[in-house]
Structure 1
Amino acid sequence: MPLSATPHASSAQAQLGTREPPMNIGNDYVIQSRETGEVVPPPTEKSIRGADKPEPKPFAHFIAGGIGGMTAATLTSPLDVLKTRLQSDFYQAQLRSLRASHPLPPSSSITSAARTALMHFGETLQILRSIHVHEGWRALFKGLGPNLIGVVPARAINFSVYGNGKRIIGEYAGYRDAGETTAGVHLTAAAIAGMATGTATNPIWLVKTRLQLDKSNAENGEWRQYKNSWDCIKQTVRHEGVRGLYKGLSASYLGVTESSLQWVMYEQMKRVLARRQMAKLADSSYPYTFWDDAELWGGRVVSAGMAKLFAAAVTYPHEVVRTRLRQAPTVSVGDGKIEMKYTGLVQCFKTVWKEEGMAGLYGGLTPHLLRVVPSAAIMFGM
């Protein structure tokens, strides 16, 4: 009759700090997983080799996040510029005028919904082309400087705080193995990482947003308001004070829900992949090859993309509100004084809803998803 080790016995041995040698009872001996209660084959040389992988050093999270984020930011910069412009009220007004002059015939059929989706995608490509034609290809990379400056510390801080936070919280909660931590631990670590990242890098993202919207804020589209990033910082501080550099921070805190949801989903899907991997390693007769490693890597990339897709789509309105709060002042009250049209998180939500409806809160969703999903796949896959 096959024997199995129970979780109670395993925990007792761990508390006593002793380890009994395995009983020589043949190939039928199995052990029981404390985490899932599953019965798995005995450890083999391959499974032991896989289990003995050293834990990554704390700075490894910092380096991985920085390099991955910088690569993703460079490759997806044109979509970032397009997304930011479509989130602004200036370009949304242009789109509303365009749609009013070319309305779709009223219909509630699936065909009409498909045509509407195609129209939005066509508008996205049309604006992307107009940026290239009227402003040149360099305009597709506006704000890339502060983006690269910001994305390295942002991704690095996020990875570092999340990775180390998950370990510390897990140890405090009494989990001996990182693979046993629950979704609650992941959620807490992700929320802390998101708030720390947003607070540290908000001035950089404000500069990036204003540079990307510079064309729309210049009179008649002929002059740039900001010469460079430093000029943008000086003008912001001069007209709005140091607090102006932290416009949109409240929306960034609201956006912690997106990063938290993304991390939790990714961790759960990664855990499923890890279990499949360990099952293969535990099977002494399984011919483990390079393609199994490639399959594991591909699974992580797909998992990262799917997690980001769901999280970004659900929490997208905070992105629009954050861009509106960060854009340059657009309301003049005379005597050279200017005011912000959007003054706070709640006021911005109400204003956009009142003037533009639900569509306004989802402006730029298409290029945003086209940017962040592959960006997440690139960053997590490196």
Structure 2
Amino acid sequence: MTKKPFEEFEDLEDRAMESLPYLASDEKGANFRDPVTLGANSDAPEVHGTVKPWVHFVAGGIGGMAGAVVTCPFDLVKTRLQSDIYQSIYQSKAVPAGNQQMSIVRQSMIHFKETVGILTNVYKLEGFRSLFKGLGPNLVGVIPARSINFFTYGTTKELYSRSFNNGHEAPWIHLLAAATAGITTSTATNPIWLIKTRVQLDKAGTTRQYKNSWDCLKSVIKTEGIYGLYRGLSASYLGSVESILQWLLYEQMRHLIKQRSIEKFGHANDGLKSTSDKVKEWCQRSGSAGLAKFCASIITYPHEVVRTRLRQMPMENGKLKYTGLVQSFKVILKEEGFASMYSGLTPHLMRTVPNSIIMFGTWELVIKLLS
């Protein structure tokens, strides 16, 4: 039975009304929006927006650079506390003999005070520029590392979701993308981090061994070979677990923030949100990155100490004290005890938590500007 003309017109009108939410300009088109959020079912799988890979690359590099510059002095303190070279100089008093039951809060306060004291001493004895020792190789490492990490994560997340999950995001998609990004980043940037560590551990004055980062690079290749540039790589791979945990936690918290926004505003369009609402959500997402980093760092921190030990310069006789991942764990636990596995944790958290807030916040802003 054929439909009458007016019935066909009504069908066409109904279809047009159903398609209306998905029609917009290029900036707010369907490929930049989440169709699921336009409907009533807010519990459906999340469909990610499309962001060009080069945008992730540029935004990640800018975010990493901003965080690294601001928090460089804390990175210096963390690296020295992780090394056994400076242990006698920066011996902590957080757990003195006969007072093992000291509260965690008091220990944290002592660690904070000691960290500030170390920064003050470095400034007085070595000068202001010493607070930013290793910033050169740090930036040389951070910019490509964050660019590679965000680029690889964003690209593989889209690839995996489209290939294996019908374009929908899921925690296991985030897990695969984060693991891929972590391994890729560690392999590509390990030589840079090794040089940064050596420079930060180099003492000032007559005992100084390296003139600058370039001199350190030449010295490592000459005395230890190309393989020497990849010392600590196994610990870096282990450290990818931290990156994976951070991405997983961040994505889950970001999803919760998005769902709350949908419940409040009824859609994902930012057009009807006030400036204060947008700033509030941006602060929430940036804070989520810091909280995710805090949790991931607490769980996986021992690998940081092992990695620093593996990257230390050889002893005076030319031999390496720490030769492998498992061997390093055994030596540290045997000679220094389990507490040493968390040496430098306080300055590490003081650096990485605000670093993540700055980095992820900048990353989101740059993506919004460039998209």
State the TM-score bracket (shorter-chain normalisation).
Answer: 0.7 to 0.9
Alpha-carbon separation, structure 2, partners of 1:307 and 1:114? 21
Q: Distance in 1 between matches of 2:335 and 2:113?
A: 24
Aligned partner of 1:243 among 205, 227, 249: 227
C-alpha change, 1:122 and 1:91, in structure 2 (3 Å) is same
Measure how far apart 1:36 and its partner are: 3.7
**1: distance between equivalents of 2:298 and 2:219?**
34
TM-score, scaled relative to structure 2: 0.82
Instruction: Render the CA deviation track for 1:35-90: whole Å, top value 9, x for unaligned.
Output: 449xxxxxxxxxxxxx9x97321110001000010111111110011110000001
Q: 1:330 aligns with which of 315, 333, 339?
A: 315
> Structure 2 vs 1, CA of residues 351 and 331 (structure 1 numbering), >3 Å: closer, same or farther?
farther
Q: How far apart are 1:274 and its partner, in Å? A: 1.1
Q: C-alpha displacement at 1:362, in angstroms?
A: 0.4
Is 1:153 the counterpart of 2:137? The answer is no
SS of 1:94 mapped into structure 2: coil
Structure 2 CA distance, aligned partners of 1:72 and 1:80?
11
Higher relative contact order (CA 8 A, sep 6+): 2
2:73 is matched with which residue: 78, 84, 96?
78
> Which residue identity does 1:134 align to in structure 2?
L
Task: Report whether the alignment pairs 1:204 with 2:199.
Answer: no
Say if 2:90 and 2:118, in contact at 8 Å, map to a contact too.
no
Change (3 A) 1:34 1:225: same
Give the secondary-structure state (helix, strand or coil) at the position aligned to 2:165: coil
1:373 aligns to what SS in structure 2?
helix
Structure 2 gaps, min length 5: 1-13, 19-37, 363-371
**Which position in structure 2 is the counterpart of 1:265?**
249
Which position in structure 1 is the counterpart of 2:302? 317
Identity %: 51
Seen in structure 2, the aligned counterparts of structure 1 residues 65 and 80 have a Cα distance that, compared at 3 Å, is: same
Equivalent residue, structure 2, for 1:12? none
Matches within 5 A, 1:214-233: 214-215=202-203, 222-233=206-217
CA distance in structure 2 between the partners assigned to 1:380 and 1:175 by the alignment = 27
| 1:347 paired residue among 324, 327, 343 | 327
2:220·2:229 contact (CA, 8 Å) conserved in 1? yes
Distance (Å, rounded) in 1 between the aligned partners of 2:101 and 2:187? 45
- Deviating above 6 A after TM superposition, structure 1's stretches of 4 or more consecutive aligned residues are none
| Residue of structure 2 aligned with 1:128, choices 84, 94, 119 | 119
Once the two structures are superposed, the pairs formed by residues 87-166 of structure 1 within 5 Å of their partners are 87-96=82-91, 99=93, 103=96, 106=99, 108=101, 110=103, 113-166=104-157
Instruction: Tell me, yes or no, if structure 1 residue 33 matches structure 2 residue 13.
Output: no
1:298 aligns with 2:283: yes
Q: Give 1:373's match in structure 2, choosing from 353, 365, 368.
A: 353
Q: For 1:104 and 1:123, locate their aligned partners in 2 and report how far apart those are by CA, in whole Å.
A: 18
Aligned-partner residue type, residue 90 of structure 1: I
**1:213 correspondence with 2:208:** no
Unaligned runs of 5+ in 1: 1-18, 24-29, 38-50, 333-337
Name the CA shift for 1:294/1:137 in 2 (closer, same or farther; >3 Å).
same
- Residues 331, 341 of structure 1: 8 Å contact kept: no
2:3 alignment partner in structure 1: none
Alignment of 1:165-176 (within 5 A): 165-176=156-167
1:359 to 321, 339, 344: 339
Equivalent in 184, 188, 202 of residue 172 of structure 2: 184
Contact kept in structure 2, 1:70 and 1:151, CA below 8 Å: yes
**Distance between the aligned counterparts of 2:273 and 2:125, measured in 1?**
55
Does the 8 A contact of 1:92 with 1:363 survive in 2? no
What is the CA–CA distance in structure 1 between the aligned matches of 2:82 and 2:354, rounded to whole Å? 20
Q: Is the 8 A contact 1:331 1:340 kept in 2?
A: no
Q: Which amino acid aligns with 1:350?
A: K
The alpha carbon displacement at 1:124 in A equals 1.6
AA paired with 1:128? Answer: L
Structure 1 Cα separation of the partners of residues 127 and 39 of structure 2: 64
User: Bigger CA drift: 159-168 or 83-92?
Assistant: 83-92
Amino acid across the alignment from 1:340: L
The Cα shift of 1:175 comes to: 2.4
SS of the residue 1:339 aligns to = coil
Equivalent in the alignment of 2:24 = none
- What is aligned with 1:62? 57
Conserved 8 A contact 2:221-2:229 = yes
Instruction: Say if 2:259 is the partner of 1:275.
Output: yes
